Structure 1
Amino acid sequence: MEAYTAVISLLQTLDQPYISELFHDHSTEMLDSLRATAECFQNALENTSNEKIKSLEEDIRVVVSEAEDVVEMMISEIIEGKSWTFLKSSKDVLKKMDKTKKQVMEILELTADSLIGASSMSDPMLSDQLEDDIVQGLDGDLEIIDKRLTGPTLDLDIVTISGMGGIGKTTLAKKAYDHLSIRYHFDIFVWVTISQEFRYRNVLLEALHCISKHRVIENTKDYVNMNDSELADLVQKSLKGPRYLFVVDDIWSRDVWDSISQIFPNCNNRSRVLLTTRETEVAMYANTSIPHKMNLLDLDNSWKLLRDKVFGLEHDHPAELEEIGKTIAENVKDFP
């Protein structure tokens, strides 16, 4: 409880309306990093009952309290017009926060499977996942995408999924987006859908709507009165600092990628863009590495998917229908 109280106190300090004005010429990225880490601690303390997480509560309380002390001292010095002498202290506390966050994430990632099945999980973002964990035939694809999204590369990486329409690219991206290990690896989550009727402004507004769920966007005018360039600049600035996952779903052309790629800042913090497209050429254009190509389900998985959709996950099927069911699944599997 003391750890949770300390986290909430730090978040309240960071969310004071005067903070952005005071630190306008100082390290706002540091404050963004502190806020993202504190929110990670808040989620872990609210949504898990893991004993190993409980064993870290004192570490979380100590490092969060130190962080709030440093922020308050920095505020005091800025107000008094003194030179900023707490630079080293701020770097030290950031390192401690990051170390503790890594310990929390490692525990959560190791126990992700058990947590997914826990009936006590209350995170609304994961409700769909609890009901329908992994679509038949996509579990192997999900593991590959998860590893690419959480890989060690510090630079911004573009992870691409390609394949024919209706094969499950969006479903796979959604499963990765909602996967518990991914939820605790990234700080900000953004999902935009492109499709053939591309409207740059709508994409920017959709992105800002997602970002606003994770952090306060300061100093903004009414979006209606902002032009596209101002909106794009706001998206980019809002993504700087925290580690973000930005999903670009169903992109059709290289021109569209050129239009939106400018809004992704490279903060060297393992942020990722996950892109889905039916055009392999577009996937290769966004990232020259080989895209993850979705393939048709094999007969066994096609039959399992059809069976579960018709009879439900927990219901037996009449044995006499299995042969004709597999025939239907075979025909569906081969349908272009």
Structure 2
Amino acid sequence: MAQPYIRINQFEANYSDVGVKSATGHVNFTFIDGNGVNKGTFGANLKNKDRPSGVSNEESDNRRKIDAKSPHHFSYAKLSSNDFTNALKYAQKAHHESSIGNMKYALACGNCVDFGMQVFNQTTLGRSQLPNYLQPNTAVSIYANLSNALCSGDNYQIKEARKVVLTPNRWRPEQLPNWAQPCIDAVVPTTISGGKWLDTKSTDAWDVAKHFTMEQGTCELEVQEFVVKNLTVASPIVINLDGCGIKTTSIFDQSVQFDLLGIGHNVTSAWIMPTSGFLVYNKQGIDNVTSVNDLFGGSERMEGFFKLVDLDKDKKGYIDKNDKIYASLRIWVNHQMDGISHAGEIYTLQELRC
């Protein structure tokens, strides 16, 4: 008799024309016993015409996604017979409770990742190990790490432990436990399709994770520290204009959408106050900024200065009006602080006496 295992089925966030579209990605769990028999594939999802809200058997749904060539990844957690039995019983119980309306899907602390963490919690692996079986730097793996700090208790939305329930037009509190107040804002406007965030069609993993946590109103310090520690670094050169130092907003309190990573779509970022401006390289003679590619910066610290050094053709260690590049440099002062370059926001160095 072989060792039983759980296959972790991870479907990536996908907005391409190939495969099933998904803004967040999805994960579910296939149980294979010691005889190689498939005992079912269980996952948590929103209600549709084929399933109730909560946990359902998603075997046929997986086949449909794979046949459509949706990007996916499999990993395997080998278990003892006892751990396998406990995890399977939990998944089957969750399926039953969902079918009679006692378990419901919730975007924060009650989604497909949270269900998987509770499946793992029935084994000696424990819930904290699930991120190790997920593809790194994807929305579901990042959320799994955040969930360890954000979501407490050995439960998945069961009756009295229910935290929040997603309804067609709003977040509605149901017996919110003390730990969740005020860290989950139960009145954040959203819709069953994901609200205005999905309109940006960003599948950037951090945008997805931040939507699940920060934009839903969490004030959990552990979550904020995790996000700050793991955020992708971007290093555009910023010039202070009022002599009082560069001031920025917090990504948790006031953020913007801008292609700060040069990946072709906007990501959520903190922003500078309009008392400072971004140094712009106006290569095409058009005063417009659409991404970090128009600025001096990149994914490495100091990268913006290294790019500027390359333009110092006479290697004197600074750039002034005698350099040819001087006429192509601009400063973008985003007065509206919205990540969009408006008319009148882009200045020559001479205009700002730089």
TM-score, scaled to structure 2: 0.26
Answer 1 or 2: higher relative contact order, Cα 8 Å, separation at least 6. 1
The structure that is helix-richer by fraction is 1
